[in-house]
Structure 1
Amino acid sequence: MNPLARKTAGLAASIGPGVTWITLFLFLPGLLMGVLAFMSNSPYGQPTLPFTTAAFSQVAGYSFLGWSPGNIEVIGRSLLQALYATFATIALAYPLAFLIARAPERRRAGLLMLVIIPSWTNQVVRAYAWMQILAPGTPLSHLAVTLGLLPQHMGLYPSSFAVSMGLIYNYLPYMVLPLYASVEKLDWRLVDAARDLYANGWRVFWHGVFPQTVPGLLAGIILVAIPSFGAYIVPKLLGGDRSVMLGNLIAQQFSSMPNWPFSAALTLVMLLFTFLGLILFRRMARRLNAGEANLL
């Protein structure tokens, strides 16, 4: 075998499994959803010919009964819950990442394990735990009633608040770990330089710490925002009928209320928002990295 053929064979052997995996489990299912989304809906909810854009009109809220904002509200609710979960995990993850990074080296592995271990538990079990924590009569629900935030004999579950708590709890480790990786590599000379220039605490963080943690922050945002946007288990168990999110609506249209073209169109909408989010994060990364380069 000549060198070029040997090099080609080695390259195929190295990237072949990954390309095969992406093709079978990402590209082909996405292509199937794209075809189903433009098909008609049969009386039994199965896709049929001819091709049409009726499913996308239904996503926008139009049906034979007129226009309804229900689907738009579900998409908006999913976006808001993803934003809540992302910003809340950022606010919690920064102190945790610094706490772990500044701890004695022999304790860091144990602290990281405490962050990771809850994610080893099945998501259904964790959701049921939050159901018990936020149910009527529990201390948190009693406190909310005392403060006038809830009527008597009501609980924090089921509610949008319970969904937010579940999402934050489930995805917090995915924000802490990449941030910790960035914090561990901080160049503390920049922090000391900012302090020497009499910067206050906020300016020290913004100019000396934040630019160095941007890679971990952006990775954490992607790992939290995308799965939160398409979450299914948490809103299903903690939200009730008034907190349906996009993942629940898609599942309903494939099972209990079969309308495959409509569900496929919703899936494409979810993918579209995901791609737009990734493009936005990429532009943010470029701008923030450029700012970091100018600062350094």
Structure 2
Amino acid sequence: MDVAVGIVAQRDNERAQELAASLVDALEREGASVVVDEATGEAVGATPVSVAAMAGRDLVVSIGGDGTLLFVAREVGSTPILGVNLGEVGFLNAVAPADALGVVTDLVTDLDRTGTVEGRELSRLQATGVDGDWTLEPALNEIVIHGPRRGHGGGATIEIDVDGQRYAESHADGVLVATPTGSTAYNLSEGGPLLHPTADALVVTQMAATEAMPPLVVEPDTEVTLTVTGTDTAYAISDGRNRQRLEPPAAVSVSLASESVTLAGPQANFFDGLDKLE
């Protein structure tokens, strides 16, 4: 079998590490080339590499919650990812732990036979300084622009332009642009709409704006420009992790990233996941 697989288990999660060890044993018996992330390698005695080094393998298995899969996606780019769900909701992780061995080995066997892996393409967003001097890592969920600190009292004046036309201008805690994947995350908590995972759209949502406009759903190839004024410092943040400090007045362009994420294997039931939201 000429298939290269990476396995990433949620850090400090014994259950995830035990499942990773079982997958390593099963896949190596089938002849696959298997590596695990560095923390898991120390725990289970398998070949460790950085998660970023798994980019370009045939498949990466993420064991944990949606946060683990988001981390893996940031590191491996367009490499197909299969999610095993140890979290509560699991919009991205469709495979139950009890089914993981069978699903992963079947998928790897099919991959060896056909050379391809079926999956769903998930759009990502790119935030770039309008002056062109910086670009954040792509976001699978959302790009957020906010003032010197997150939340009430840390806002700024933010103008929203959609393909060069003004949509809104208001003092706000921030503004976010979310993918369908991210519509169930920060966007939802800020009063934005749910987008079905297969929707070909993005959503722009103000956060506690003093002169609020309704959240705006736009086509995915739309360019959204967010201009920040009225504060000494602001931030552009990708998926809550990667950030760029801004010195207002500053303008940020948000658009689709060139590479999407391939979510391999069975797909989660969107409506079942909604039942688990608080």
The TM-score, its normalising length taken from structure 1, stands at 0.20
Identify the structure with bigger relative contact order (alpha carbons < 8 Å, sequence gap 6+).
Answer: 1
More helix by share: 1
Instruction: Kindly indicate which of the two structures has a greater share of residues assigned to strand.
Output: 2
TM-score with structure 2 setting the length:
0.21
